[in-house]
Amino acid sequence: MTKTKIDDVFNKLKATGDKAFISYIMAGDGGLDKLKGQIRTLEESGVDIIELGIPFSDPVADGPVIQQAAIRALEQNISLQNILDELKNIKDEITAPIVLMTYINPILNIGYSEFARDAAESGVSGIILPDVPLEEEEDIKVHLSEHDIALIRLVTLTSDEDRIRELSEGAEGFLYAVTIKGTTGGRKSFGEDTYSHLEKIKSIADVPVCAGFGVSNVEMAKQLGSYSDGVIVGSKIVELLHKGEDGKIKDLIPEKSTAVK
């Protein structure tokens, strides 16, 4: 099974009883020249893993905030290849594992083998593909595995126990547990079905389970963290970066028992 820097992070957090905080940002939003500074800001705020969104014209899983961020990046002609090239330039200055969240079309445009090679050379630890179901992942997974890049699967609220077991078998990195029925974006609260669903996934999965979609404040992050191994925050962080309110990112992150790196 593929082992990456992602596994190292969860092993360290497990040893201290802490939960992972994973941040999502749209790569190229504000210009690709800002990516290094944005990543450094996230690391200094206490983020454990960084998920980089790839701008795409038809983002079916994304809500309005992330859609607008993608549009801003696309208006500057930012592509997946541009982002990989920039990551290659700055990878030695990045500590946190990098996970790419992209749709399959940009990868097809490069080619599976070429993409996997370039991603590895750019220091990428994992890939999330929301439009590639389990039954269709093998074509790309074989190439990612050659370069020790984890293919991270999503589990939704509509996944029944049998499906959760299928998704858990051979899972890599962590399972991305979607906490709402719908697209990304801040919510005021989660239903009890969300928490019971996380408990079910946790009872089945052999890899860490991280909850994402809809988390917009530290209280929600703490609550979801009590039912999972970590939380993923996207829209709120994208919004703060766009507004130039980077200093507020650390306020979203629950305190850990160890010093923030």
Positions marked catalytic:
51, 62
The one-character DSSP state at 212 is E
List Cβ neighbours of 92 (8 Å cut-off, separation of 6 or more): none
List Cβ neighbours of 174 (8 Å cut-off, separation of 6 or more): 6, 10, 20, 152, 207, 208, 209, 210, 229, 230
Asked whether 158 and 179 are in contact (CB, 8 A), the reply is no
Residue 236 identity (one-letter amino acid):
K
- Edge to edge, the sheet with strand 230-233 lists 150-152, 124-128, 98-101, 49-53, 20-26, 230-233, 209-212, 175-178, 154-155
- β-partners of residue 233 are 23
